[in-house]
Amino acid sequence: MRAGAPCPGCGVVLVERHGPTPPLIGASAACWALYGELLAHEYAEPSYPECHRLTIDAYAAQHPGRRSRRAIQSVGIHLSGLYLVLDRGLEGPAATALKNRVRAAEPKFKWLRPPQPIGELTVQDVLAMRDEMPHCDAVERWARSVWDSWRLHHETVRDWVEGALEKAELA
């Protein structure tokens, strides 16, 4: 058995494996494979689209990668998604529509120093909670732990989102 290695994003220790990793997201191949397993689980169940956006936003915000223009944009838009759902209470198509308006307004995202750790829960925890609670409840707990860990930047994210939405309304 190979030794475990921490994921550079979420810190979960998994057996090292070779495989693809996404270019913008700072995840180990083993963690990325778990995320793929979680996505397959969600795509197989018709009732999960409501929490799927939280899955994507939580994973991307928990794995910010290295400072680059594209990584800054990715983290900014995924933190914006967490803000819209978890702080503003938006659901479903309304959350997606506003997130798309934020993206289209092209806010001036900047690099935010990632917290350490980025959340108390990981994709591994969500998969492990399948037998304990409804899937979307587990995803929301994970997303909240990720969003809460970024608390030092909540005001910045709120300003990005609200500023982008004001700009979109004026256009």
Q: What is the per-residue pLDDT across 38-89, written as a single tens digit (0 to 9) for each?
A: 999 999 987 777 789 999 999 999 999 999 999 999 999 999 999 999 999 9
pTM of the full predicted structure?
0.94
The domains of the chain are located at: 22-170
Residue given tokens 């809460």 in the structure block: 148
Q: Could you tell me the CA-to-CA distances from 56 to 5, 49, 146, 162, 168 in Å, in that order? A: 23, 11, 12, 21, 24
What are the tens digits of pLDDT across the range 89-110? 998 788 889 999 999 888 899 9
